């Protein structure tokens, strides 16, 4: 009888060991402001900052396994924290990381996927030190064209919305273009603008400063950023605020080209698209969103809870603790959310 009990104990110990061996624990990743890009082949890359260093990790098995961090570059005076930090975008055969220094320059690093080596690229802003606020967005289309938007104060030393593109065969970013200047002289000074490309459509969103309100506006282009539509306000309500909320929201485009946005207004999270009225999702800040097929997910933080809402299902759940979440949808239908907590990178597959 004692032998049977011993055999049973040993069996369960071996079973537990086998299970743990099949699911390796991810190492602790020291860093801030993680964000992700998914290339046309489905490869997932995550960039983050640690002090003045930039690292990139490749995720395999649909986001379940991490490579070792690859050192990309060290950038003296790099902006990092509160939505500032290195950004990544991926396309057919290359990826680009953009990072801003506190002097106001936008640096880039390029990866050719077949060579697997990050190399320094040209700066985005064509006027030196024009972007000291350190807030920008980066995206790519499917044909190795990259697009950037940022807060730039070259006009009357006030922050407004500037844009540039890096065409597939070019080594230099295009002449910087003023997309929007507020009649008040400047847009919201410390909210990160966003940019997204899908199916020949490019959309920029930003928080405006107009008639005492700080609302989310958007402008779109169908010619790779050569021209943009007149900026229009999203949602129905307005936020009268004589301060900066430091919260730029998120944007997505569906398969038909319909634009959706999610953002914070006076401590409430809202979702809106061009064909539907805005709706409140709860309380919080630091909003991100992703859309693929008929699935739309919104992520945000409420105090130190990271929350994700499924717009179609009408559900919301807490997935972790921390700040500044970024949500992404993978090709297999799953989603991947990354965020930071006490200067460590967190992630979860949903």
Residue 17, pLDDT score: 35
Q: How far is Cα 167 from Cα 178, in angstroms, rounded to an integer?
A: 18
What are residue 13's phi and psi, to 5 degrees?
-65, -45
Sequence-separated (6 or more) residues with CB below 8 Å from residue 189: 133, 151, 159, 209, 244
Percent of the chain at pLDDT > 90 equals: 86
Residue 20 three-state SS? helix
DSSP string, 185-242: S---TTS--EEEEETTEEEEEEE--BTTB--EEEEEESSTTSS-PPPEE-SS---B-S
Q: For residue 61, name the pLDDT band (cuts at 50, 70, 90).
A: confident
Reference 53, options 36, 35, 77; nearest CA is 77
Please give the average per-residue pLDDT across 217-240, as a whole number: 97
Residue 162 has pLDDT above 60, yes or no: yes
- Residues sharing a CB contact under 8 Å with residue 346, sequence separation 6 or more, in sequence order: 306, 320, 322, 338, 339, 340
* pLDDT (0 to 100) of residue 10: 40
- pLDDT score for 66: 84
Residue 230 burial (C-beta neighbours within 10 Å; 0-12, 13-18, 19+)? exposed
User: What is the share, in percent, of the chain residues with pLDDT greater than 70?
Assistant: 92
What's the mean pLDDT in 312-323?
97
Is 22 a residue whose pLDDT tops 90? no
**Residue 80: enclosing H or E segment and its boundaries?**
none
Residue 3 phi, psi (nearest 5): -65, -40
Determine the topology of domain 30-254+269-285 in CATH. Neuraminidase (2.120.10)
Do the bridges between strand 315-321 and strand 305-310 make them parallel or antiparallel, or are there none, so unpaired?
antiparallel
Average pLDDT over residues 183-212: 96
Q: Is the pTM of this model over 0.85?
A: yes
β-bridge mates for residue 262, sequence order: 250, 271
**Is the pLDDT assigned to residue 62 strictly greater than 80?**
no
In 10 A of CB 87, how many CB atoms?
A: 24
pLDDT band (50, 70, 90) for residue 286: very high
Q: What is the mean pLDDT of the chain?
A: 92
pLDDT for residue 11: 42
Question: Could you report the per-residue pLDDT of 106-125, keeping only the tens digit for each?
Answer: 999 999 999 989 999 999 99
Which letter does DSSP use for residue 81 in this model?
A: B
pLDDT at position 27 is 67
- How far is residue 99's CA from residue 113's CA, in Å, rounded to a whole number? 20
Residue 302 tokens read as 């409420």
Residue 13 reports pLDDT greater than 60: no
Query: Structural domain boundaries of the chain?
Result: 30-254+269-285
CA–CA separation, 51 vs 79, rounded Å?
Answer: 9
How many angstroms separate the CA atoms of 260 and 229, rounded? 16
Length of the chain: 350
CB 97 within 8 A of CB 107: no
Indicate the DSSP class of residue 167: -
């Amino acid at each position: 009888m004692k032998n049977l009990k011993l055999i049973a104990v040993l069996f369960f110990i071996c079973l537990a060991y086998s299970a743990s061996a099949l699911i390796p624990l991810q190492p602790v990743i020291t860093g801030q402001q993680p964000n992700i890009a998914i290339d046309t082949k489905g490869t997932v890359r995550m960039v983050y900052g640690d002090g003045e260093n930039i690292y990139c990790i490749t995720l395999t098995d649909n986001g379940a396994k991490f490579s070792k961090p690859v050192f990309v570059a060290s950038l003296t005076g790099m902006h990092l924290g509160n939505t500032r930090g290195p950004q990544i975008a991926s396309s057919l055969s290359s990826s680009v990381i953009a990072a801003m220094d506190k002097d106001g320059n936008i640096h880039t690093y390029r990866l050719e996927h077949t060579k697997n080596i990050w190399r320094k690229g040209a700066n985005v802003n064509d006027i030196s030190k024009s972007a000291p606020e350190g807030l920008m967005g980066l995206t790519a289309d499917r044909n190795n064209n990259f697009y950037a938007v940022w807060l730039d104060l070259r006009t009357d030393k006030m922050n407004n919305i500037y844009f540039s593109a890096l065409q597939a065969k070019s080594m230099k970013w295009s002449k910087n273009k003023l997309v929007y200047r507020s009649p008040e002289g400047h847009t919201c000074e410390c909210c990160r603008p966003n940019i997204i490309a899908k199916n020949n459509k490019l959309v920029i969103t930003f928080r405006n400063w107009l008639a005492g309100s700080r609302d989310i506006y958007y402008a779109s282009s169908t010619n790779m950023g050569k021209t943009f539509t007149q900026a229009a306000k999203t949602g129905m309500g307005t936020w009268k605020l004589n301060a900066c909320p430091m919260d730029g929201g998120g944007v997505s485009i569906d398969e038909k080209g319909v634009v959706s946005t999610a953002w914070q207004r006076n401590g409430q999270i809202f979702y809106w698209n061009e064909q539907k009225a805005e709706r409140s999702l709860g309380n919080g800040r630091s909003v991100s969103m992703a859309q693929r097929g008929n699935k739309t997910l919104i992520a945000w933080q409420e105090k130190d809870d990271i929350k994700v809402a499924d717009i179609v299902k009408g559900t919301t759940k807490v997935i972790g603790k921390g700040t500044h979440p970024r949500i992404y949808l993978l090709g297999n239908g799953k989603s991947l959310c990354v965020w930071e907590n006490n200067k460590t990178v967190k992630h979860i597959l949903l």
